[in-house]
Amino acid sequence: MMKTRCLFMPGWGNSVMMKRRFSSAGLVLGPLMLLLAGCMPGAPKGRMDVAPVSFSQLPGWEGEDHTALVNMVRLECLRIAHLPAGTSLGGAVTLPYGRDMKDWKNVCVAASSVRSNRTEARQFFESWFQPYLVQQDAFYTGYYDPEVSASLTQGGEYQIPVYARPKDLLRGRDENGELEYGHWVNSVFRPYDDRATINSGSLEGKGLELAWLKSPVDLLFLQTQGSGRLRLPDGQQVFLGYDGRNGRPYVPIGRVLVKRGLMKSEDVDAQSIRDWLANNPDQVASVLEANPSYVFFRRTQRTADEGPTGGFGLPLTPQRSLAVDRRFVGYGMPVWVNISGKDAQGRFVTWSRMVFAQDTGSDIRGAARGDLFLGWGEKAARIAGDMKNHGQMMVLVPLPEAKQAGEQPVVGTATEVMAAGAGQTAR
């Protein structure tokens, strides 16, 4: 049976349904449109075990900066208002609301009228959102906006190209709503060239070089984070943003090193990987090419004080933006993160605060999986490299009407009312 694919065609305002057998002959393929909307009936969705909880069960809720959180909601509401009608934000079918734009309408109206005082801001959340505890053990990692040395021209020690997206690379969704990248090969939609093929020169001569780096390891970390800052020889900065990938599976380099017996799993973190690669230059190509995934970039306009744009279309905010698996947590959802345990260095860590689902990642898969954006600079890089923590995840679901004080938690789904008492798991 042929798979149906929803392709985001360059230069077109809407997505186009195509079969694998469809021939691409005669199509003029311009720049890829990385749109959030498109083929929304096939948007991914999953099921996860959740249980409604009260705000008093969110550790540290009373001490949060509720006014700042309301401002984050307002920004998200502006983004939602500018999305094409019918856009699905994603999220588990076991959450009662929040997957559709219309679920946010009344919440956004209420947010616009909240005054800048902490009590009113807190009351806004407690009236218009219902927290749900994800029953699975949550696992959090961190990512950051790296800075690497680069040149806009090839020469001297700058020999590693940073590529823009090839013009024939397309993005789409299959019949399960899963995002996929690729191109047409003899009328068959296939993944693009893998890392080894690209490293061998398959993209040379196409004018795709955005900049040149000193090391393939710098390129790896840039691609792993999905964005970055290039520091030019004259001190100026150039900003890069994610612009698609080749459609090959992502294989973590740490996993490669462990599988080959070159590193112990408990020793794997960003710095140990970088150190190993620096100390074993003769094995760098072999190790890096074991990860066939390849990320492409575009130049972006932002200031040094701004984060990169996430998948939701908003600049990422340090320690407030979270990358999620959209099958389970939809874009825009407030998420309460509760971490309590030891970090990679054995230090005890407690971290409880609200963040917002504003990004995704190829390695961020699962109902209770989160990747925290930690900013830029050496401190952010160090914390992100160390972060591998378990904890709790509570998803705050927007409500169609405000709750009254003391009202029982909402239980059920938008299309199905489930008989469940307080604390009972909705499935």
Of 40-49, 245-254, 388-397, which range is least confident?
40-49
Q: What pLDDT score does 396 carry? A: 98
Q: Are 184 and 167 in contact (CB under 8 A)?
A: no
394 Ramachandran zone, left/alpha/beta (phi>0; psi -120 to 50): beta
pLDDT of residue 405: 66
Question: Residue 313 has what DSSP assignment?
Answer: S
Distance CA 128, CA 15 (A): 34
Judged by DSSP in three states, 63 sits in helix
Provide the mean pLDDT of the chain. Answer: 84
Residue 250 predicted with pLDDT over 80: yes
Flag the least confident range among 174-183, 264-273, 415-424: 415-424
Mean pLDDT of 352-366: 93
Residue 224 and residue 319: Cα distance in Å, rounded? 19
Amino acid found at 154: Q
DSSP SS3 for 254: helix
**What domains, with CATH codes, occur in the chain?**
148-300 (2.40.240.50), 309-395 (2.40.40.10)
Q: What would the two tokens of residue 196 be?
A: 């080894």
pLDDT of residue 252: 92
The string of pLDDT tens digits covering residues 82-111 is: 999 888 999 999 999 999 999 999 999 999
361 pLDDT tier (thresholds 50, 70, 90): confident
Distance between CA atoms of 352 and 337, rounded to whole angstroms?
5
Res. 113: pLDDT tops 60: yes
Query: How far is 353 from 360, CA to CA, in rounded Å?
Result: 19
Cα–Cα distance for residue pair 133/54, rounded to 1 Å? 10
Give the number of C-alpha atoms closer than 13 A to the C-alpha of residue 370, restricted to the C-beta side. Answer: 36
The Cβ-side half-sphere exposure at 121, using a 13 Å CA radius, reads 18
Q: How many residues does the chain have?
A: 427
Beta pairing partners, 229: 147, 239
The proportion of the chain whose per-residue pLDDT surpasses 90, expressed as a percent, equals 71
Residue 365 pLDDT > 80, yes or no?
yes
Q: Which residue has better confidence, 404 or 334?
A: 334
**Closest to 291 measured CA to CA, from 342, 316, 257, 263:** 257
d(CA 24, CA 176): 23
pLDDT digits (tens, 9 = 90+) for 198-249: 999 999 999 999 999 999 999 999 999 999 999 999 999 999 999 999 999 9
Integer Cα distance of 56 and 44 in angstroms: 32
pLDDT at 9 over 90: no
